[in-house]
Amino acid sequence: MDARTIIDYAKSLDCVHCGLCLNTCPTYRLTGREPSSPRGRIHLMRSLAEGEIQADADFAHEMDFCLLCRHCESVCPSGVKFGALMEHTRAGLAALEKRPLHVRLARAIGFGVLLRDRGALSLAAALARVFAPARMPLRAERAYQPTLTPAEGERTSAVLMLEGCVMSEIFGGVNRATAAVLARAGCEVRATPQLFCCGSLHAHSGESSGARALAREAIEASEALCDERGAPLPLVSNSAGCGAHLKELAALFEEADPWHARAAALSARTLDFSQLLAREPQRSLLAARMRASSELAELSPIAWDDPCHLCHAQGVRREPRALLALLPGVTRVELAGSEDCCGSAGAWSLTHASESSALLEGKLEALRASGARTLVTSNPGCHMQWDAGVRRAGLDVRVLHLAELLELATRN
């Protein structure tokens, strides 16, 4: 395979080298090195495509070092689709198979076994709870959703909820809270074991064939659940990373491929759960159930931390804040740099542990300065990263998913 062909050269030409993205990039801020910046990485990609450099270890390092946080996309005046460029490049690198054997073996187990099979992932999570309790909740949180959770009160709509792989294994309580809040907002919530992993971790890591296989499974599973008129249900995600991936699913398939249109249709009906709940009549139904309580007051003040794949990839910023503003007796404080990456980024926190800790330290400083007693997020990777950081720093701060807070506020 010719290494020059692994780059989406046309997309790379959108970059006009202005450098506006540099200071938003966590790896540039950590190192001060141009090749570790978005502009530098695009320059490397172009140089490879033009045959000026090789796809050597230095090139692979800079591509692996990117967190795929997509902060650069939020500020780019040229509309460079950096996430798509990077995923394309990583898929090409994976196909070149220049990684050491032990890395290829670890990737085969992670992407080919654990993230393809609920039972295998479940076993691995149980082992991790025993051997790495600092990184995992001590309690087994796993509990799959019932296939039907009826709407409470007036039924306004029906939705399909994505349980997710990591979310259902580690944050089963978040899934239960999400379904409860949706039901209280008048939604009939459907779930199906056929919809397991969305494949976002595969796509971010260059495992494009695994990502496509999981995308096809997700499309088929979601098309099978329809409303009274026979239209597939809206798909609701409570994980920023999964939602962002599902909203861009068609990029995995060539336009001539029949799966491309089906993927685009699934993307069009995918919503972050905050987007659905901030709409009418769901917002009003939820607001009507809100009750002040001592439990809620103890969590105040709260700070919202924007998950990268919610703010930068999905452009969702207003809706979570609008929902948090409904909480009675709770003050919200702004977190400085709330759109900066916390350093989780899937497996990046494991493969780049010291850099990940350095990024988290900056976020913890902002949390201390905010005076918040509760940190609110809506992505499992960020949730784990914050949990570990708060515990390590000995802070008296709770880390909650937005759904958990809304559930508490609407619990009668």
Comparing CB distances to ligand SF4, the nearer of 5 and 78 is: 78
Nearest distance from C-beta of residue 36 to ligand SF4, angstroms:
8
Task: Please identify which residue in 1, 18, 268, 350 interacts with ligand SF4, judged by CB under 6 A.
Answer: 18
Q: Does 63 bind ligand SF4 (CB under 6 A)?
A: no
Task: Please identify which residue in 6, 63, 66, 405 interacts with ligand SF4, judged by CB under 6 A.
Answer: 66
Distance CA 125, CA 133 (A): 10
Q: Does 16 bind ligand SF4 (CB under 6 A)?
A: yes
Task: Please identify which residue in 6, 59, 81, 82 interacts with ligand SF4, judged by CB under 6 A.
Answer: 82
Reduced to 3 states (helix: H, G, I; strand: E, B; else coil), residue 16 is coil
Identify whether 328 is preceded by a cis peptide bond (ω within 30 of 0).
no
Q: Does 27 bind ligand SF4 (CB under 6 A)?
A: yes
Q: Does 88 bind ligand SF4 (CB under 6 A)?
A: no
Question: Of the listed pieces 65-73, 112-120, 239-247, 298-306, which binds ligand SF4 according to CB under 6 A?
Answer: 65-73
Q: Does 24 bind ligand SF4 (CB under 6 A)?
A: yes
Q: Residue 272's closest CA among 228, 310, 298?
A: 310
Q: Does 70 bind ligand SF4 (CB under 6 A)?
A: yes
Task: Please identify which residue in 39, 262, 352, 398 interacts with ligand SF4, judged by CB under 6 A.
Answer: 39
Type and span of the H or E element at 179: helix 172-184
Q: Residue 45's closest CA among 33, 65, 60?
A: 60
Q: Does 72 bind ligand SF4 (CB under 6 A)?
A: yes
Do 376 and 305 form a contact (C-beta atoms < 8 A)? yes
Please give the backbone phi and psi of residue 251, each rounded to the nearest 5 degrees, phi first: -60, -15
Q: Does 13 bind ligand SF4 (CB under 6 A)?
A: no
Comparing CB distances to ligand SF4, the nearer of 37 and 239 is: 37
Distance CA 63, CA 74 (A): 19
- 226 DSSP 8-state letter: B
Please give the backbone phi and psi of residue 59, each rounded to the nearest 5 degrees, phi first: -60, -50
Comparing CB distances to ligand SF4, the nearer of 21 and 390 is: 21
Distance CA 334, CA 305 (A): 9
Question: Of the listed pieces 34-42, 132-140, 161-169, 382-390, which binds ligand SF4 according to CB under 6 A?
Answer: 34-42
Enumerate residues 6+ apart whose C-beta is below 8 A from 272.
236, 237, 238, 240, 243, 310, 314, 316, 319, 378
Task: Please identify which residue in 6, 44, 80, 251 interacts with ligand SF4, judged by CB under 6 A.
Answer: 80
Identify whether 38 is preceded by a cis peptide bond (ω within 30 of 0).
no
Distance CA 389, CA 398 (A): 11
Do 204 and 162 form a contact (C-beta atoms < 8 A)? no
Task: Please identify which residue in 38, 92, 234, 320 interacts with ligand SF4, judged by CB under 6 A.
Answer: 38
Task: Please identify which residue in 45, 67, 201, 296 interacts with ligand SF4, judged by CB under 6 A.
Answer: 67
Q: In the structure encoding, which two tokens stand for residue 100, read together?
A: 């050491």
Q: Does 244 bind ligand SF4 (CB under 6 A)?
A: no
Count of beta carbons in the 10 Å neighbourhood of residue 129: 17
Task: Please identify which residue in 5, 13, 19, 23 interacts with ligand SF4, judged by CB under 6 A.
Answer: 19
Question: Of the listed pieces 60-68, 188-196, 320-328, 384-392, which binds ligand SF4 according to CB under 6 A?
Answer: 60-68
Nearest distance from C-beta of residue 41 to ligand SF4, angstroms:
6
Q: Does 382 bind ligand SF4 (CB under 6 A)?
A: no
C-alpha dihedral, 155 to 158 to 159 to 161, nearest 10°: 70
Task: Please identify which residue in 5, 23, 78, 331 interacts with ligand SF4, judged by CB under 6 A.
Answer: 78
Distance CA 299, CA 409 (A): 11
Distance CA 270, CA 264 (A): 10
Q: Does 41 bind ligand SF4 (CB under 6 A)?
A: yes
Nearest distance from C-beta of residue 86 to ligand SF4, angstroms:
7
Q: Does 68 bind ligand SF4 (CB under 6 A)?
A: yes
Contacts with ligand SF4, residue ranges (CB under 6 A): 15-21, 24-27, 38-39, 41-42, 66-72, 76, 78, 80, 82
